[in-house]
Amino acid sequence: MLLNFRTANHRSIRDEQQLNLSPVYDADRPEAADWEAVPVAAIFGANAAGKSNVVDAFRFMRDMVCYSHREAEPGGGIERTPFALDPEEIAEPSWYVVDLRLDGVRFTYGFSIDDERVLEEWLYSYPKGRKAKVFHRSGDDMEYGDALRHSRRELDLVSGITEPNSLYISVAARAKQDSVRPVYDWFARSVHCRPESRTRTSHTLVYDARMLEDPRLAPAIVELLRAADLGIKDVGVEYVEELRPSRRGTSSTLVQQELPGMASDEEKTHRLPGRSRRSQPRVWVEQRGRHGTVRLGLGDQSEATRRLFSFAGPVLETLGRGGLLVLDEIDASLHPRLTAHLIRLFQQPDSNPLGAQLVLTTHDASLLGRSEGEDILKRDQIWFVEKDEFGETTLFPLSDFRPRQEESRERRYLGGSYGAVPVLSDERFATAVAAR
């Protein structure tokens, strides 16, 4: 589980900010849960206050851990996004740290970078509650903990092939170094980041197809969409063969042929004279009509249906495996009651037996209220972001205000008691309209 995330000098985040998921109020925990961290953390704030930048910083850390070993070109530097409104800060390092609890053992992993290289990187474990060094990298120097002395030669070989602009943990994991695998595997296998963007890329299309072809997940995805009262009877995937002119061909006509189910490898690689053939997944949705069910493409559905579908697979996969799901703007196009039900899946031990976690950003103040007689979000699951007059984001928890369990958090938030709301003026809006 993720216990804590800290970052500095990333987009609108100038100074260190932390998202602490350790429980604060034991009275708010389900009796049957033995989770060591809260299962949900929701970040509220005004537009452009930095909500998305908090989750973007975590996504950047995940991508560095998983992909820096293959994307780092020798001498190519690191593509980062430091705080840009202070010329002096642009040259300062950006850094990212997580505290994790994996199979009963706590780990702390982090790194700092500039535009050119990894400046520092470290991994510590606490197998018996006491701090033990796994490795500490400072520039080109590497230090290893006492437990790894027997494999020092092998570790030095890994260090020798680690580029200055790539992370040691990424290379060591690929070299099958067991000492780093728990943390690397958590990032690579247990973390799923779903961006706010509604653009469907080839990556998301392949992911959606994989979900709908998984015999464990597909029925649950269908049931979740049915439960959302969207009029959906079934959902599935088919493959569309695109027949494109080859470079030697003369015809510019594009022909499409729908295949029932997944195309075989032979079908995907078959070539016709003058044309190249490529299969692409396409999600279909069956809906109730006056004269029976009708099969439509996902693109024919409402934005809410497409949005929920994009969440369904990651939500169910995360609950089934016990990982972390990060959703930016979870409420976009979704009804508040539907969003509340998705959150509730993570709150209850019966639907979340493995302690999966959900970190989300939202504008929906109704999530601060109650649904079916219970708080949608607990007091230690609510976070706010504000941006000051210098464009710097601050992240802070509701628990700083010592809220009472019975107080109306939705009303107090909208009334400005917690901050993190836009300061608006009817007069300034009227002046802007008059100036057209």
What DSSP line would sit under 12-80, residue for residue?
TB-S-EEEE-S---GGGS-TT---SS-SEEEEEE-TTSSHHHHHHHHHHHHHHHHHHHHH--TT-----
Token pair for residue 280? 């692409």
Coil, strand or helix at 393:
strand
Beta strand spans in 305-425 (E)? 324-327, 357-362, 370-371, 374-375, 382-387, 393-397
233, 293 contact by CB (below 8 A):
yes
* First and final C-alpha spacing in the chain: 52
Q: Is 283 helix (H, G, I), strand (E, B) or coil?
A: strand
In Å, what is the CA distance from 209 to each residue of 213, 230, 233, 242, 284? 6, 21, 18, 17, 11
* Cβ–Cβ < 8 Å for 80, 118: no
Question: Do 393 and 17 form a contact (C-beta atoms < 8 A)?
Answer: yes
pLDDT computed for residue 42 by the predictor: 97
CA distance 329 to 198: 11
Is residue 368 packed enough to be buried (19+ CB in 10 Å), middle (13-18) or exposed (0-12)? buried
Contact 158, 175 (CB under 8 A): yes
What pLDDT score was predicted for residue 253? 39
Retrieve residue 385's tokens: 């972001």
Per the DSSP assignment, residues forming a β-bridge with 272 are 275
CA-closest candidate to residue 88, choices 394, 390, 389:
390
What residues pair up with 382 in beta bridges, in sequence order?
A: 42
> Between vectors from CA 137 to CA 133 and to CA 140, what angle results, nearest 5°?
150
**Side chain identity at residue 40, one-letter code:** V
Q: How many CB atoms lie within 10 A of CB 229?
A: 10
pTM: 0.85
Task: Dig out the tokens for 161 from the structure.
Answer: 């092939």
From first to last of its 436 residues, the chain has per-residue pLDDT tens of: 999 999 999 999 999 999 999 999 988 888 767 889 999 999 999 989 999 999 999 999 999 999 998 877 777 899 999 999 999 889 999 999 999 999 999 999 999 999 999 999 999 999 888 899 999 999 999 999 887 766 777 888 888 888 999 999 999 998 888 899 999 999 999 999 876 444 555 667 777 788 888 888 889 988 988 888 888 899 999 888 765 554 544 433 333 333 333 334 433 333 444 444 567 888 899 988 888 889 998 888 888 788 888 888 889 999 999 999 999 988 776 777 888 989 999 999 999 999 999 999 998 999 999 988 889 999 999 999 999 999 999 999 999 999 998 899 999 999 999 988 877 666 766 777 777 6
The Cα-based distances of 416 to 220, 377, 421 in angstroms read 40, 19, 6
Residue 369, exposed/middle/buried by CB under 10 A (0-12, 13-18, 19+)? Answer: middle
**For 364, what's the count of Cα atoms within 13 Å in the CB-facing half-sphere?**
24
Task: Determine the pLDDT at residue 168.
Answer: 95
> Are the beta carbons of 282 and 297 closer than 8 angstroms?
yes
Amino acid in the structure at residue 113: I
Facing residues of 120 across strands? 112, 138
